[in-house]
């Protein structure tokens, strides 16, 4: 019996629906493993289709084509190491989430996912059938157990594999980022290592898909739970892991341990990578956005430059008579610091034309919200016209606080294709700006140093749609608002919870009301980077028509 086994771990970035492209990445990984003398090359969950496929994978033509691509891959990779790859799988009339082992030119064995996640962004219960608890598969004389993603979070699958002869666990994942998720993963995987007394290999994918970013961070644990190898977060990478047979079973040979950044850096990286992959995977190369002189558009501009490069970012100032000299200077300073193309397009003439057109209908009525929103919608019209003319995707710039309470104009500043800060509360926007000014990393395409001048961060926020307007005229101060939203949205808490935390009941009720009546806006809003377990979209699905209010 062999006393050494080498696994090439391929932490790669697939694209949903690009079957041929994903297969090409798998072949390249197999070649890397073959050159390194691997016994097995391992890829993440559902790699051939990309992940999360949602309902696409239920389309018979699609999953049939995916399985055919895997069969072709098996034939191409017949002479060399075994190849393990995530794929849909059909038995009878049932569709499964499977992990397929390719050896000798064919699909030699498969594991079927048993625990189907049905929370946060996942609803696999309605897509796949649950596979039975099964045993390990063999590669040469070595028996390997592969709980698939969610299966690794439950003890029964791993214990069944250990009891039926698995010598180590290889767990393929499609696990998207949320803040501090690595700690959750470690805790679950340590539990599996301790329970089974086996080495645990946790293999995750990287890359953006719609709102989700798969953050990689693959790792290997010794049987007691100690860390043996840590791959980087967010980057495509290979690791050649050696396991050796001892009197106590297989043990992982110590490998490199990549540094894991703090939550501020990881959040910012997610916003950059999500935009970069959303652009690259949909075919866009350039973006534009309205640069107001405020903090939200400034951080979105920085994210866009770091993701795409300054040459691919257009910033547009669209001032009205309410735009302050301070905002004009701040916007221009941010544009110059980032090195982007900067356009100055006043809206006063267009606004006057619209106001005059509506004057007969509005005669005798006091100016108010309708007139304010004309400005926002005119800006949206002009930005979308530029988007069409120049072939540049428009970015929206509303933070999570505004998205939550509807402090944004539908068909106005909500117009656009993607929102990098959709899941970032306003108070975190301020701190993220400060973090970016103080930090630079090799994965950023933007310049080092201060790119957002301090005045942009420190001045009172304002939409500047009327004289002397401040956000605090309409909303609680952001530290209060964000704390209440964290309770109501992120923690699914109650009005009583808000009061217990020290907030006025009337203030909490007002915020709750704004959250519920703004659902129709979120339903029509652009997708954006997911940073938390309660991001607006798949994580939190509420009815638009809803008269319920918390009576507590």
What DSSP character marks residue 124?
Answer: G
Q: What is the distance between the alpha carbons of residues 378 and 266, in angstroms, rounded to a whole number?
A: 36
Q: Which residues contact 402 (CB under 8 A, 6 or more apart)?
A: 296, 408, 426
Q: Which residues are annotated as a binding site for deamido-NAD(+)?
A: 373, 402, 521
| CA 381 to each of CA 62, 133, 526: distance values in angstroms, whole numbers, following the listed order | 38, 56, 16
What DSSP character marks residue 11?
Answer: E
Q: Which residues are annotated as a binding site for ATP?
A: 290-297, 397
Among the listed residues 25, 113, 400, 422, the single catalytic one is 113
For residue 44, the tally of other CB atoms under 10 A from its CB is 30
Q: Which residues are annotated as a binding site?
A: 175, 181, 290-297, 373, 397, 402, 521
Q: What is the distance between the alpha carbons of residues 165 and 162, in angstroms, rounded to a whole number?
A: 5
Q: Which residues are annotated as a binding site for L-glutamine?
A: 175, 181
Q: What is the distance between the alpha carbons of residues 413 and 428, in angstroms, rounded to a whole number?
A: 20
Bridging pattern class, strands 168-173 and 142-145: parallel
| CA 285 to each of CA 16, 277, 304, 364: distance values in angstroms, whole numbers, following the listed order | 19, 10, 11, 48
For residue 431, the tally of other CB atoms under 10 A from its CB is 14
Tokens of 358: 């509506």
Catalytic residue flag (residue 45)? yes
DSSP 184-224: HHHHHHHHHHHHHTS-EEEEE-EEEETTEEEEB--EEE-TT
| CA 154 to each of CA 160, 182, 533: distance values in angstroms, whole numbers, following the listed order | 11, 17, 20
Catalytic residue flag (residue 149)? yes
Residues listed for the chain:
552
Catalytic residue flag (residue 433)? no
Closest to 552 measured CA to CA, from 487, 484, 476, 493: 493
- 240 within 8 A of 252, measured Cβ to Cβ: no
Torsion sign, CA atoms 184, 190, 196, 198:
positive
Tokens of 244: 């050796």
- 171 within 8 A of 200, measured Cβ to Cβ: yes
Among the listed residues 45, 69, 129, 372, the single catalytic one is 45
- 539 within 8 A of 403, measured Cβ to Cβ: no
Among the listed residues 25, 69, 124, 149, the single catalytic one is 149
Q: Which residues contact 368 (CB under 8 A, 6 or more apart)?
A: none
State whether residue 46 is helix, strand or coil. Answer: coil
Instruction: Give the residue numbers annotated as catalytic, written as ranges.
Output: 45, 113, 149
């Amino acid at each position: 019996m062999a006393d050494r086994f080498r696994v090439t771990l391929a932490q790669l970035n697939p694209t949903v629906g690009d079957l041929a492209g994903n297969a090409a990445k798998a072949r390249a990984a197999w070649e890397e493993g073959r050159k390194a003398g691997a016994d097995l090359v391992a890829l993440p969950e559902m790699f051939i289709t990309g992940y999360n496929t949602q309902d696409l994978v239920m389309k018979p033509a699609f999953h049939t084509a995916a399985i055919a691509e895997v069969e072709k891959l098996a034939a191409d990779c017949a002479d060399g190491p075994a190849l393990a790859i995530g794929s849909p799988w059909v038995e009878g009339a049932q569709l499964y989430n499977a992990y397929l082992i390719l050896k000798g030119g064919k699909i030699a064995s498969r594991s079927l996912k048993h625990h189907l996640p049905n929370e946060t962004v996942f609803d696999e219960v309605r897509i796949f059938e649950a596979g039975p608890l099964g045993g390990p598969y063999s590669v040469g004389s070595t028996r390997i157990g592969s709980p698939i993603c969610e299966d690794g979070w439950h003890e029964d699958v791993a214990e069944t594999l250990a009891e039926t002869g698995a010598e180590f666990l290889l767990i393929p994942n499609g696990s998207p980022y949320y803040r501090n998720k690595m700690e959750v993963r470690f805790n679950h995987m340590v539990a599996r290592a301790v329970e089974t007394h086996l080495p645990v290999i946790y293999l995750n994918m990287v890359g953006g898909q719609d709102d989700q970013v798969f953050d990689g961070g693959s790792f290997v644990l010794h049987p007691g739970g100690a860390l043996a190898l840590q791959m980087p977060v967010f980057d495509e990478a290979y690791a050649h892991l050696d396991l050796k047979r001892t009197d106590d079973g297989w043990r992982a040979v110590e490998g490199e341990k990549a540094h894991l950044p703090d939550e501020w850096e990881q959040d910012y990286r997610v916003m950059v990578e999500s935009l970069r992959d959303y652009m690259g995977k949909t075919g866009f190369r350039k973006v534009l956005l309205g640069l107001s002189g405020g903090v939200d558009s400034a951080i979105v501009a920085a994210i866009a430059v770091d993701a795409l490069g300054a040459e691919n970012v257009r910033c547009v100032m669209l001032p009205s008579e309410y735009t302050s000299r301070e905002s004009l200077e701040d916007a221009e300073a941010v544009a110059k610091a980032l090195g982007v193309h900067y356009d100055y397009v006043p809206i006063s003439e267009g606004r006057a034309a619209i106001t005059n057109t509506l004057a007969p209908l509005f005669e005798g009525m006091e100016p108010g919200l309708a007139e304010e929103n004309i400005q926002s919608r005119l800006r949206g019209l002009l930005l979308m016209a530029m988007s069409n003319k120049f072939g540049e995707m428009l970015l929206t710039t509303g933070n999570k606080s505004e998205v939550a309470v509807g402090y944004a104009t539908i068909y106005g500043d909500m117009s656009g294709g993607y929102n990098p800060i959709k899941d970032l509360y306003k108070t975190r926007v301020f701190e993220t700006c400060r973090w970016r000014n103080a930090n630079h990393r090799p994965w950023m395409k933007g310049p080092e140093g201060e790119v957002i001048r301090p005045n942009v961060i420190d001045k009172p926020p304002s939409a500047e749609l009327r004289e002397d307007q401040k956000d605090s005229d309409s909303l609680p101060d952001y530290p209060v608002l964000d704390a209440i939203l964290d309770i109501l949205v992120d923690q699914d808490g109650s009005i009583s919870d808000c009061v217990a935390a020290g907030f006025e009941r009337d203030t909490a009720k007002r915020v709750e009301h704004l959250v519920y009546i703004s659902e129709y806006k979120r339903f029509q809003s652009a997708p954006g980077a997911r940073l938390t377990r309660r991001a607006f979209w798949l994580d939190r699905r509420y009815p638009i028509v809803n008269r319920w209010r918390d009576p507590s």
